[in-house]
Amino acid sequence: MNAPLPAPALRQQRPHVAIIGAGPGGLAAAMQLAAGGARVSLYEKDGVVGGRTRTLHAEGGYRFDLGPTFFLYPRILEEIFASCGATLQDEVEMLRLDPQYRLVFEGADGANATLDATPDLARMEDAIRAIAPQDAQGVRRFMEDNRAKLEAFRPALERPFLSAAHMMTPDMLRSLKHLRPHKMVDADLRRYFSDPRIRLAFSFQTKYLGMSPFKCPSMFTILSFLEYEFGVFHPRGGCGAVSEAMARVAGRLGVEIHLDSPVDRVTFDGNRATGLDVQGRHVAADAVIMNADFAHAAPRLVPNALRKAWSDAKIDRARYSCSTFMLYLGVEGRFPQLAHHTILLSQEYQRNIRQIDAGEIPDVPSLYIQNPVASDETMAPPGHSALYLLVPVPNLRGDADWAQEAPRFRQVALDRLKALGLHDLESRIRTERMVTPQHWRDEFAVGYGATFNLSHDLLQMLSFRPRNRFNDTRGLYLVGGGTHPGSGLPVIYEGARITAKLVQQDLGIPVTVDTSMAAQ
């Protein structure tokens, strides 16, 4: 049942919240604040909602996700919809995938090993046993230990860290034995799996954060656990369909969504945010939420003098995720040899990571390809495919000249697909779009082209990350991958719940969602 809208005269008396950016975090915050009684205005620089979680439409009826291609741990999103008087499944059909994805471990002379990852643990054990018999016994122990780890990690996911003292609470200290912050993901997985390929099967998910499993804190083994425990989902029509559903619900709650409306700056009285300047017009607000990419937007929208904790100099020397090279290919024909999600893990995987860390473009890269018509016929015309190809590459801190490198690397990426049996792909391409790190920065406003935002090392997490109630200011709040808890859709949605609750508490608005967070 949809929440009723107040009468116009009453609506003007409600606290006004202005939100910058209609990405997943901005949309989730807008929904919750409007459901709680706030008047919400959302300003999006582009002509569509979704940010990096949008749909790209190509001539001929092809559809592509721009960024994320699946949903993990949908419980958080379901709860957000429910708190706003809506039902996620009524708004968009969520298809649970099995297999969740296909992993292809490249071997010498084409001797590849394939693992179809399934949430059926008995079948998963059998699939692992076929590659590394000794490691099958580690699956259920991994699941049990990470079930406990997730419960220990919940305090870090479900509440803000507005000072260093908030990291020293009794529940956080008790969690350390489960989180093992001194270990990295690959090292922690050695307790369960001896074969490096099986460890990769449970650790490549650190790429969702743009990080290497050899440098990502071990608490993030929960990423693969979440896949097996709660499922990997494809929204029919692509992930952009979820963003569009969120915008519909927000609109029913009275949120005013302004597209093609880039924000010029956040306005302040002292250190208190008073609203926005939008295309030469001032919009007064009782609170401002910034959902734009942090590294790109903060230096442009918030005066440096108000950002002592995250000054221009601090932002410039911070550590950032890798970037991605993307190809969106509308192709004649179908590809039964591809699963819905397929990951090709290069024999040179660790060398790839070293090259990316050094700012070098990998020469024999690993890659990910989505073939959504394997589950969803709506993504391409009959008899055609909409292939999405992603290759991890360095962010723009490296020296690569993508204007020069892009044509060469496009061919490298297409040639790598031959390892998956796609030998005649190029002749069948009917439409194509390329996105390089430079495009991420210049077209999609992603700081340094770092697709997954600030890195998630230990000194850029919790209160060390830009805070949900933004450091050194009043009335300015953050949502998105650049703030706590971090990147990845379920984490961004949880961050939107944290931020919305802070705004509601600060403005005296009824809280719409109980995130089980302690009072701050």
| Residue count of the chain | 520
Report CA dihedral (349, 354, 360, 363) to the nearest 10 degrees. -20
What residues contact 284, with CB distance under 8 A and at least 6 apart?
16, 274, 275
Instruction: State the first-to-last Cα distance of the chain, in angstroms, to the nearest integer.
Output: 32
Q: Which residue has the higher pLDDT, 378 or 111?
A: 378
Query: ω before 74 within 30° of 0 (cis)?
Result: no
At residue 366 the predicted structure's pLDDT band, cuts being 50, 70 and 90, is very high
Q: Do the beta carbons of residue 35 and residue 503 sit within 8 Å?
A: no
Q: Is residue 513 very low, low, confident or very high in pLDDT (cuts 50, 70, 90)?
A: low
Pair of tokens at residue 21:
């950016």
Q: Which residues of 416-445 are buried (b: 16+ CB within 10 A; e: fewer)?
A: bbebbebeebeeeebbeebbbbbbbbeebb
CB 483 within 8 A of CB 460: no
* pLDDT tens-digit readout, 35-81: 999 999 999 999 999 999 999 999 999 999 999 999 999 999 999 99
Question: Which tens digit of pLDDT belongs to each residue from 11-32?
Answer: 457 999 999 999 999 999 999 9
pLDDT attached to residue 178: 65
Confidence (pLDDT) at 520 = 36
Write down the domain spans for the chain: 8-94+236-317+455-507, 123-231, 319-448
Percent of the chain residues past pLDDT 70, beyond the cut:
95
Mean pLDDT of 249-265: 98
Instruction: List Cβ neighbours of 377 (8 Å cut-off, separation of 6 or more).
Output: none
The angle formed by the CA atoms of residues 104, 108 and 114, to the nearest 5 degrees, is: 20
**What is the DSSP secondary structure assignment for residue 137, as one 8-state letter?**
T
How is residue 476 annotated by DSSP?
E
**pLDDT, mean of residues 275-297:** 97
- Cα separation, 491 vs 479, whole angstroms: 10
C-alpha 155: how far from its chain's center? 20
Q: 77-103, pLDDT tens digit by residue?
A: 999 999 999 999 999 999 999 999 999
Q: What is the mean pLDDT of residues 205-212?
A: 89
Query: Which amino acid makes up residue 43?
Result: Y
Count of other CB atoms within 10 angstroms of residue 52: 22
The pLDDT value recorded for residue 120 is: 97
Torsion of CA 76, 82, 83, 85, to 10 degrees: 160
Angle between helices 75-83 and 24-35 (to 10 degrees): 30
> Average pLDDT of the chain?
92
d(CA 400, CA 382): 39
User: In the predicted model, what is the mean pLDDT of residues 296-312?
Assistant: 98
* Average confidence (pLDDT) over 273-288: 97
Q: Within 10 A of 163 (CB to CB), how many other CB atoms are there?
A: 12
Alpha-carbon distance of 322 to 307, in angstroms, equals: 25
Give the pair of three-digit tokens for residue 405: 């490198």
Alpha carbon of residue 266 to chain centroid: 25
Q: Which residues face 461 on adjacent strands?
A: none
**Rounded Cα–Cα distance for residues 476 and 204 (Å):** 35
In 96-205, alpha helices (H) = 121-129, 138-158, 170-179, 185-189, 196-201
- The lowest-confidence range among 83-92, 220-229, 508-517 is 508-517
* Two tokens, residue 423: 């030998």
pLDDT value of position 13: 79
Count CA atoms closer than 13 A to 220's CA, side-chain side: 28
409 and 434 in contact (C-beta within 8 Å)? no
Helix (H) or strand (E) holding 126: helix 121-129
The answer to whether 437 and 444 have CB atoms below 8 angstroms apart is no
**CA distance readout (Å), 402 to 208, 232, 351, 398, 434:** 23, 33, 21, 11, 11
- 256: amino acid identity, one letter: E
| Segment (H or E) for 39 | strand 39-43
Non-local CB neighbours of 90 within 8 Å, separated by 6+ positions: none
pLDDT of residue 8: 37
51: left (phi > 0), else alpha (psi -120 to 50), else beta?
A: left
In this structure, how many other beta carbons lie within 10 angstroms of the beta carbon of residue 356?
Answer: 21
State the alpha helices, DSSP H only, in 379-419.
402-416
Domain 8-94+236-317+455-507 CATH (choose: 3.50.50.60, 3.40.190.10, 3.40.50.620, 3.10.290.10): 3.50.50.60
pLDDT (tens digit per residue) in 449-476: 999 999 998 889 889 999 999 999 999 9
How far is 56 from 341, CA to CA, in rounded Å? 18
Question: In this predicted model, what pLDDT tens digit does every residue of 141-188 receive, in sequence order?
Answer: 999 999 999 988 887 778 888 888 777 777 777 776 666 767 899 999
pLDDT at site 458: 86
Report the predicted TM-score, pTM, of the whole model to 2 decimal places: 0.93
State the DSSP code for 69. -
Cα 518 from chain centroid? Answer: 25
Does the pLDDT at position 207 exceed 70?
Answer: yes
